[in-house]
Amino acid sequence: MSVRSVPPTRSGLVRASAQLGRVQKGRELLNRKREALITELFKSARPALNARQEVEERATEAYRALLHALAAHGQSSLETYAWPGREITVELEHRQIWGIAVPSVVSHSPIQRTLTARETAAPSVGPAAAQTATEFERLVDLVLEALPKEQLVRRLGDALAKATRQVNTLQLRVEPTLTAELRALRRMLEERERDERSRLRHVLRRRKDAG
């Protein structure tokens, strides 16, 4: 409902005032939600940042080990050691934070394995290749641990940006427009009432003069 569509009557004025009140209440609720999102975002940012730094440090170690393994065995030999491939299953669940669905890892297949579990011949693999496999398995473990934290921060950031846009729209566009239209509606009614009173006084004066 727009104030422009409200008839210039007292009941219309009440309806328009109620509409403005609903908009102001909605803006206050969004402001509180935005403040809560900011608090949650600050609380979640540090763990996510620490997790990302750990992933970056582990990735550096893993690729350093890979370079040593490439130097020791060559790419074709490492590709042979990497066989057979395997699938990693990950079970996720979603929890709600201020209406935002955030994934969390419930469980996953074991990542880190022994040489026996890798189904490779230990003497032929060599320490460089074995260390590379270990480093990358640790890296995958850290990535799975860091993923929910990263997603939480990203989704909180998206929700905060959306709430901020909504607050700004209500505060800077909708409220001023409704307030100005409501003010114009009040002036219109006041002018109409003044005209009615003036017309009534004129009628009463004519009747008095006629009597």
If you average pLDDT over residues 13-32, what whole number do you get? 91
Full-model pTM? 0.72
In 15-138, which ranges are E strands? Answer: 90-97, 100-108
Evaluate if residue 121 carries a pLDDT over 80. no
d(CA 201, CA 51) in angstroms, rounded, equals: 81
If you average pLDDT over residues 39-52, what whole number do you get? 93
Give the SS3 label for residue 97: strand
| pLDDT category of residue 9 using cuts at 50, 70 and 90 | confident
| pLDDT category of residue 185 using cuts at 50, 70 and 90 | confident
Q: What pLDDT score does 59 carry?
A: 95
d(CA 25, CA 47) in angstroms, rounded, equals: 34
Q: What pLDDT score does 51 carry?
A: 94
Structure tokens at 73: 């065995």
Vertex 71, ends 65 and 76: CA angle to 5°? Answer: 100
Helix boundaries (H) for 82-174: 122-125, 127-169
For residue range 83-109, what is the model confidence (pLDDT) as tens digits? 777 788 888 888 888 788 888 888 888
Count CA atoms within 13 Å of residue 93 on its CB side: 4
If you average pLDDT over residues 159-164, what whole number do you get? 94
Q: Which domains does the chain have, with CATH numbers?
A: 9-210 (1.10.287.3240)
